Amino acid sequence: MAGLELLSDQGYRLDGRKPSELRKVQARMGVFAQADGSAYIEQGNTKALAVVYGPHEVRGSRSKTLHDRAVINCQYSMATFSTAERKRRPHGDRKSSEMSLHLKQTFEAAILTQLYPRSQIDIYVKILQSDGGNYSACVNAATLAVIDAGVPMRDYVCACSAGFVEDTPLADLCHTEESGGGTSLALALLPRGGQIALLQMDARLHQDHLDALMEAAMTACRSLSNVLDGVVRQHLQEVSLLTRE
């Protein structure tokens, strides 16, 4: 392959990780007072902020109202300073609209929408710094924000990307690996039941390798869910300690 060598002969990646190793994850819940729920996550150098409003009355056009469940409204945006080259429009371009749609599909699978007929739940996610795996950072941040808002969900939704280089699946790709020309796959998982909420792959991959790649992504999602679980439990303990009577 011309240019960068994504996997060294010793089996290490560009940033020194092993193929199945994730980047460092740090997260916080309840970062804003105004929103119903909010969260901030850092996955390596990718940083995302998510806020949740709702469930509330459907605003805007009434025709969107569903009589048996809640409408989920997602908006994905990237800060103009999030990429190496300054972005013109923070949201509304084709890529962002597609991402918003994917987020919507993911959370419709996880949130118990049938409990809130005629309502709307807004999820706004913003990428503050982009270093690969934007979709997964957004899903993980939004999961924490939804939990913070007290909206009922079946389970956590955890997402992770995975790539395939030199017959080895790589978990949690960074920007250089994503743009390196290899195949990449994004997967959102409900870890306890093992159901897949969303699976997306843009490039070509031989059918024989698909299982290995998905398995790598699912393992990565499960380890991410453990990290998120720790964050939620810590937050839960802190808040319930303060509000005890």
- The residues of the shown chain that bind other proteins, judged by CB under 8 A, are 30, 33, 36-37, 54-57, 112, 116-119, 147-156, 190-193, 229, 232-233, 235-245
Closest CB to other proteins among residues 148, 177: 148
How many CB atoms sit inside 10 A of residue 66's CB?
Answer: 15
How do strand 71-78 and strand 119-129 relate by DSSP bridges?
parallel
Residue 100 phi/psi, 5-degree rounding, is -60, -40
CB 74 within 8 A of CB 125: yes
Closest CB to other proteins among residues 131, 148: 148
Least distance in angstroms from the C-beta of 81 to other proteins: 18
Least distance in angstroms from the C-beta of 143 to other proteins: 9
Closest CB to other proteins among residues 54, 132: 54
Identify which of 120, 160, 111, 153 has the alpha carbon closest to the alpha carbon of residue 139.
Answer: 160
CB 202 within 8 A of CB 95: no
Least distance in angstroms from the C-beta of 240 to other proteins: 5
**DSSP result, 73-84:** EEEEEE-TTSSS
Least distance in angstroms from the C-beta of 197 to other proteins: 13
Closest CB to other proteins among residues 83, 223: 223
**DSSP result, 46-71:** EEEEEEEEEEEEPPS-GGG--SSS-E
Closest CB to other proteins among residues 54, 163: 54
Closest CB to other proteins among residues 2, 33: 33
What is residue 201's three-state secondary structure? strand
Sheet of 25-29, strand order? 25-29, 37-43, 46-57, 119-129, 71-78
How many CB atoms sit inside 10 A of residue 219's CB?
Answer: 17
Least distance in angstroms from the C-beta of 188 to other proteins: 15
Closest CB to other proteins among residues 37, 182: 37
Answer positive or negative: Cα dihedral of 140, 127, 112, 29: positive
Least distance in angstroms from the C-beta of 60 to other proteins: 13
Least distance in angstroms from the C-beta of 182 to other proteins: 33
